[in-house]
Chain A
Amino acid sequence: MSDETQEIIGDYKYGFHDPENSTIRFDKGLSEQVVRDISELKNEPQWMTDIRVKAYRHFVERVMPEWGNCSLLNMIDFENVTYFLRSSNKTEKSWDDVPDDIKNTFNRLGIPEAEQKWLGGVTAQYESEAVYHSIREDLEEQGVIFLDMDTGLKQYPEIVKKYFGTVIPHSDNKFSALNTAVWSGGSFLYIPKGVHVEMPVQAYFRINAKNMGQFERTLIIADEGSSVHYVEGCTAPSYSTDSLHSAVVELIAMDGAKIRYSTVQNWSSNVYNLVTKRAVAHRNATVEWVDGNIGSKLTMKYPSVLLKGEGAHAEVISVAYAGKGQHQDTGAKVHHLASNTTSNILSKSISKDGGRSSYRGLLQVSPKSIGCRSKVVCDALILDEDSRSDTYPTMEIGNSTSDLEHEASVSKVSSDQLFYLMSRGFSEEEAMGLIVNGFFEPFTRELPMEYAVELNKLLELEMEGSIG
């Protein structure tokens, strides 16, 4: 076994943490003053402060969701969360200028290397704010705007004001209210008309401090006929106390535009990952969510697409891996709000060592949307008796002109498969790893190669040392 493999074998590869060297750290707990202080510290325009305060008030009044994993949700102690932590005084454009301790973290995660090899742009967020940011010159010359959200608000206040909160209003749910109140960091990406961004752009989110709350806010606008692939990765150290990650991601695909948004969430198993992701697709636009959930304690996330323009298309491919002590409550929502819109949803989950995965989906066709087509496929693989998988699909179909398919399956690894693979020289763990990787393959093949390799390695390691 290589040293590298040995190092990874612990429960969680990214569980290391570096010393916390914050320049500004707010006291734990949330109040209207904290919200105003964040806004003031960032020198925001008054309208943004007002949105934050309004959202905060809604958050206070809004009750916790009464679905999903209520017992885990109710264990969140909002007073024991740090809502803002600045680790570096500015966002650097060169890795050389990023403070050493933070740079070390991203080096260990392989980010600068990935940037050189295959990315069109990178944002690296550490705690509350971006510490590094870059975009390839050729993209900048074509008018592509790729900034961290704070800088985006400073440099393009009109665009942000026009679109911020239009896809996901603060009042959408308790956690979108919380995010709108205390948001910090995230990405702001604008692709001009007709521009095709060939290389993916990536944002990397890292929580390092204990009891940290990370509330990034991402807004992506693909103008008419443009296309982009945005990739998001997340990790955090393994602390014994919980952290909270509650992001809001809004995508707007104008007529004929295409946005693909890929995520591999690999939070450590003490992170609450409560994220609202929604897209609007206008006429003939395509939005694709490629969403992988491997880590976290509890994830509740249902990437959504509002198909608003005729001929728009939504694609949601998601996988969830629920190991020991984990609950992945994930799924997809598609609203067919215009005629001749189409959608495909493929959801795959694996439960192991007492983990629980739930698929929660909504498919809605409005009465006036004629000739819509949708296919939903949910496959669950359960690896042992202690683990659990549930499916909660909802369909609201407003007319009879639509063509809808729903397939669901729950399976176990068969002894025939194990015997076959073992007879070809694979140990039981290796055989399980192969079967699991194969099960996720329809997802993995959609990822950039580097991510796919990483994900496969990760899953193989999850299979090790746990079979009696």
Chain B
Amino acid sequence: MRIVADEILRVENLHVSVEGTPIIKGLSLTIHRGEIHAIMGRNGAGKSTLANVVMGHPAYEITSGNIFFKGEPLEDLEVFQRARAGMFLSFQYPAAIPGVQVGTFLKKSVASVRDDPPKGRAFRKELTAAMEKLSMDKSFLSRYVNDGFSGGEKKRLEILQMLLLQPHLALLDETDSGLDIDALRIVAQGINEVAADSACLIITHYQRLLDLVKPHYVHAMIDGTIVRTGGPELALELEDRGYDWLEVTA
């Protein structure tokens, strides 16, 4: 098969089960560098499952189909190897790691993921610049990772990590939820910056993030599969009409 230049993610007829229950039922999707794709759908449609399974969550079983990252099959790569290869997942509910300071965590994470990680002053400079972009106070660095963070603080920390890790593929799982309008604008800036040079998959319920991060493709997902793909206008239509009309035609 011919690999299109700059193809980052290709999902082929994917079927995924959790504890024996099928969640994703035949999903295909290809994302190239520089493209922003949005997946919209109701709760339980399988959107988060897709993000988690691409990242390699052990609870999800691929029953058939394939996932390729830059043309290579992913199945043998452990989660951390996927991260080191350039994949990033912004979590809907990031886990708290009590006792581990954000500063230490970021430094170690960047050191393990990036090929030529900045050290010492260069790292601190990059970190300061990224935090300024996201309007994050320096006091964040001495707090424990996600421990006692508000929803908005968690999402900012996710985007900060994305800026520092410079992924080739960014999976954003409901990054807009729990954000007020100012925070949403700041987070969107961060996403746009990374998206310019990588492949980006945005999972969302709402149009409001897509006003700020313009998708090239919008996919409507129902019951574990993509039922329709369109441009930005599809997101507006979904916001306006809901999903029932697609179910009828699906």
A residues near B (Cβ < 8 Å) are 414-417, 419-428, 430-431, 434-435, 437-442
Contact = CB atoms under 8 A, between A and B. Distances in A.
B120 interface: no
A467 to B, nearest CB: 12
B99 A425 contact: no
A422 B97 contact: no
A417 B95 contact: yes
Interface residues of B, number: 30
Given A417-B97, A441-B100, A442-B99, A426 B89 contact: no
B210 to A, nearest CB: 24
A426 B161 CA distance: 14
Interface stretch (B17-25, B77-85, B176-184, B212-220): B77-85
B172 interface: no
Interface string B58-93: 110000000000000000001110111000110101
B59 A438 contact: no
Smallest CB-CB A-B distances: 7 pairs: A438-B99, A441-B99, A425-B112, A422-B79, A425-B113, A438-B100, A420-B95
A431 B105 CA distance: 10
B226 to A, nearest CB: 24
B80 A425 contact: yes
B99 A424 contact: no
A426 B80 contact: yes
B59 A424 contact: no
Contacts of A420: 91, 94-95, 97
B140 interface: no
Interface of B: 55-59, 78-80, 82-84, 88-89, 91, 93-100, 105, 108-109, 112-113, 144, 161, 165
6 contacts: A415-B58, A419-B95, A422-B79, A423-B56, A425-B80, A425-B113
Nearest to B144: A438
Contacts of B112: 424-426, 430
A415 B18 CA distance: 15
A415 B59 contact: yes
A435 B59 contact: no
Nearest to B57: A419
Contacts of A415: 58-59
Nearest to A456: B104
A16 to B, nearest CB: 30
Nearest to A421: B97
Contact of A428 (B59, B80, B94): B80
Nearest to A444: B99
A426 B95 contact: no
B203 to A, nearest CB: 15
B58 A425 contact: no
A437 B100 contact: yes
A441 B80 CA distance: 24
A434 B105 contact: yes
B99 A439 contact: yes
A440 B105 CA distance: 16
Contact of A424 (B58, B93, B161): B161
A439 B109 contact: no
A427 B89 CA distance: 16
A199 to B, nearest CB: 25
B156 to A, nearest CB: 16
Nearest to B94: A420
Nearest to B145: A438
Given A423-B88, A424-B83, A438-B98, 6 more contacts: A420-B91, A425-B109, A426-B109, A434-B97, A438-B100, A438-B144
Contact of B80 (A416, A417, A427, A437): A427
B91 A424 contact: no
Nearest to B93: A416
A434 B100 contact: yes
Given A415-B58, A438-B97, A422 B84 contact: no
Nearest to B112: A425
A436 to B, nearest CB: 9
Contacts of A440: 99
A438 B96 CA distance: 11
Contacts of B94: 420
A349 to B, nearest CB: 14
A423 B99 contact: no
B172 to A, nearest CB: 13
Contact of B99 (A421, A431, A437): A437
A419 B58 contact: yes
Nearest to B91: A420
A409 to B, nearest CB: 11
A288 to B, nearest CB: 20
A442 B101 CA distance: 12
A423 B82 CA distance: 8
Given A419-B79, A420-B91, A425 B84 contact: yes
Contacts of A431: 80
B182 to A, nearest CB: 26
Contacts of B109: 424-426
